[in-house]
Amino acid sequence: MSDVVVKDNPSESRFEAWLEDELAGFADYQLRPGQIVFTHTEVDDRFEGMGVGSALARGALDSVRPTLLGVVPLCPFIKGYIDKHAEYQDLVRDRS
């Protein structure tokens, strides 16, 4: 299996996970002043169990870190990923 490539697609307000030329999953977000709110994550059934979701969460959060935006993880998948990976917990901000 090829490596998952995570790209921000601002025109769709989502981070996308690509395997070669196939869209394998995405994480929707909303930008608010000083915040990025993750609302929904989805991985295509064909790619379940291949680590696409984890790669997507990691790639999205790594992309957000240098922007200094606070992360509001409304999406249960992104929230669960952050809960399991202490290195991302400093990004979380309360929803306001």
CATH number for position 51: 3.40.630.30
Supply the pLDDT for residue 1: 46
Does residue 96 fall inside a structural domain? no
Does residue 21 fall inside a structural domain? yes
Total domains, the chain: 1
Supply the pLDDT for residue 95: 59
Does residue 60 fall inside a structural domain? yes
93: Cβ contacts below 8 Å, ≥ 6 apart:
34, 35, 70, 71, 72
Q: Alpha-carbon distance 81 to 96, whole Å?
A: 21
Q: Using the predicted structure, report yes or no on whether residue 90 has a pLDDT greater than 60.
A: yes
| Biggest CA pair distance of the chain | 41
Q: In percent, how much of the chain has pLDDT > 90?
A: 93
> What is the domain extent for residue 38?
4-91
Does residue 54 fall inside a structural domain? yes
pLDDT (tens digit, 9 = 90+) per residue, 37-69? Answer: 999 999 999 999 999 999 999 999 999 999 999
